[in-house]
A and B are shown apart, each in its own frame.
Chain A
Amino acid sequence: MPQKSDRPGWQVSLLSIGVFLLLWALIAFVAQSPQTLPTPLTVARLTIAELISGELLHHLGATLLRTIAAFIIAMTIGAAIGLVMGTRRRVNAWADPWLIGLLNLPALVTIALCYIWIGLTEVAAIAAVAINKIPLVATQMREGARALDRSLNDMAHVFGLTGIKKLRHVVIPQLAPYFAASGRTGLSLIWKIVLVVEFLGRSNGVGFQIHQYFQLFDVGRVLVYAISFIIVMLLVETLILQPWERRATMWRRPDAR
């Protein structure tokens, strides 16, 4: 007999969002200061206006592309570094102080240095974001590499599974939970840093728009761009990350084939 899931359904999430909107509307009503805190309805109207003008999609697209590029670069390089550090003690001993240093380097410093050294370019913007995230990915993947099953490694050795085949069938599936955790935290961190990068040195994107409307003290449009991108990230999480994670961990489920 199929068992009922213990997980709360989407209805609870929807109710939770409803409660948040109600609280927001209540505070806005009490504050009676549309310039400081507009109501959810006002923000919704502004969102539709920005959508119709095409501005919202243009800037969301620019930020999303930067986020995706920085995410892929950070995950690839960070995973490779973490894997090597987690499996080779000597490399880890040498690279660990660097990793700790990079972990504690403020994002703002990396962004400023990348803009100074590379120039106010797209490469500098994406590099700055990726450099901020790489140490975090490397740290998480190093833990994953340390937890790799030795007996499976022996099996791969005996049966001649090497290179890409070993990586694909033996190593990466073991690292999947670490990839998922790293991907989740990575995406939320990366898009926030992308906004700072755009705020400081780009001429498009959500960060750039927030900068513009911050100078005009237009809180309504600041919220339009911030909330819109949060929604985009929630969609990425729901439509891409969660299905991938479900697929990658299908074999763990008790009802697996």
Chain B
Amino acid sequence: MRVNVTRKAYGDTTILRDFTLEVADRERVALTGPSGIGKSTLLRIIAGLDADFEGQVTGAGRIAVAFQEPTLLPWRSVRDNLTIATGCTAPEADTLLSAVELPHTADRFPGTLSLGQARRISLARAFAAQPDTLLLDEPFTSLDHEVSARMQDLLSALLEARPIRLILVTHEPAEAQRIADRVILLPATTA
């Protein structure tokens, strides 16, 4: 997969300039750097959510995203959130819910879950889509240390069993080191 952003600007403010990233199959890359540097913008560009930039993204294949906010459909059950968004079957959804250690939440509404649980459901949904490229935007933010560590373990276990290319955005160097094969620090001079 190749990402080449010649220029990305909001109005007169340039956020990204001459940025190139190549990610091999099954490679895990972490993008780190301070807030406001353009990490999430880059992720939105790769996800196809922002087409207003100069450059191109090629070879990403099927993409799934676990957003910083879980973005679950609050009016559908947890299981339905997986099946509706990804087209997976109910048994496949249940298997993934077990993989993120939340099989008992299948029939519940997302509003009844804690943030940590909702993030894990969001992660399960991303895997249910069977993506070639998985994009994670600050998936462990606002979680306490124990929950965050458990979720990182779950992510690593899920990745082990699947041929997925990962791009993780985080401002925590420790998270990046733990999960990724390669850590890219986006310097303030990117723009």
Contact = CB atoms under 8 A, between A and B. Distances in A.
A22 interface: no
A251 B72 CA distance: 13
Interface stretch (A112-120, A124-132, A147-155, A222-230): A147-155
A94 interface: no
B73 A152 contact: yes
A159 to B, nearest CB: 4
Nearest to A248: B75
Contacts of A252: 74, 111
Given A161-B84, A252-B111, A257 B69 contact: no
A151 B129 contact: no
B84 A256 contact: no
A173 B77 CA distance: 13
A170 B73 CA distance: 7
B75 A157 contact: no
A170 B76 CA distance: 10
Given A157-B49, A158-B48, A161-B84, A151 B71 contact: yes
Interface string B98-137: 0000000001110110000000000001000100000000
Given A152-B71, A161-B85, A256 B49 contact: no
Interface in A236-257: 248, 251-252, 256-257
Interface in A117-169: 151-152, 154-159, 161, 165, 169
B49 A154 contact: yes
B159 interface: no
B64 interface: yes
Nearest to B78: A257
A236 B47 CA distance: 46
Given A256-B112, A257-B107, A257-B109, A169 B73 contact: yes
B140 interface: no
Given A256-B109, A257-B107, A251 B85 contact: no
B141 interface: no
Given A158-B63, A251-B74, A256-B108, 12 more contacts: A151-B71, A158-B47, A158-B65, A159-B85, A159-B86, A165-B84, A169-B73, A169-B76, A173-B75, A251-B75, A256-B109, A256-B112
Interface of A: 151-152, 154-159, 161, 165, 169-170, 173, 176, 248, 251-252, 256-257
